[in-house]
Amino acid sequence: MKVSASFLSSKNIPVDLKKLDNTDVDYIHVDIMDGKFVKNKTMPFSEMRNIYKYTSKRLEVHLMVEDPTEYIKNYAELNTEYIIIHAEIEDPIKYLEMIKSYSIKCGISIKPNTPVSSLVPFLPYIDEVLVMSVEPGEGGQAFIPESEERIKEIRDLLNEYKINAIINVDGGVTNETVSKCRLCDMVVAGSYIVKSEDFQERITSLR
């Protein structure tokens, strides 16, 4: 199981990024919020672009925004492996094609109440499905139990269409809930890691 660490709940981002850089975590999960698609808003890119000063880990950028255009252009400049947009925004395919134009892997994310079948039009474009196991926009929420069944549905869908994309789960992931993610390739953990005394121990407990 790969692990992507979110610093959304961090109280001291530079310090926590340096600590994560000294672990074997696979990715840094960068949550971007515009205050429109979700109610919260994250730091501007002018500040976020400094991530590279504190970590050499590859980035997985999760865009919880209504219009990803400028965000895609900006984050394509960083050490980014995946850029993820939401299935619920207008014209996702346009943005998936834009991400691909930068030779960056594409992800599509769905909220807990979005039907799994809504992913079908995007399957030819994607390298990752990010399953939200909480309502997006805020760290520290509890894992929604029904997410386990949705993960299975998505795995079946990818197999049916012969799509070679990874499944990632984001929200409420801990050593107690990770067993519900056994059909995934990767999990995102935020509070569980950055609010602990031993980042590496927490990362290892999820693998």
What residues are labeled active site? 31, 170
CA distance 199 to 82: 23
CA distance 64 to 69: 12
The identity of residue 158, as a single letter, is L
145: number of CA atoms within 13 Å, CB side? Answer: 0
The identity of residue 193, as a single letter, is I
CA distance 24 to 57: 9
CA distance 53 to 70: 22
Contact in structure between 81 and 107 (CB atoms under 8 Å): no
CA distance 30 to 48: 9
Burial class (CB in 10 A: 0-12, 13-18, 19+), 178: buried
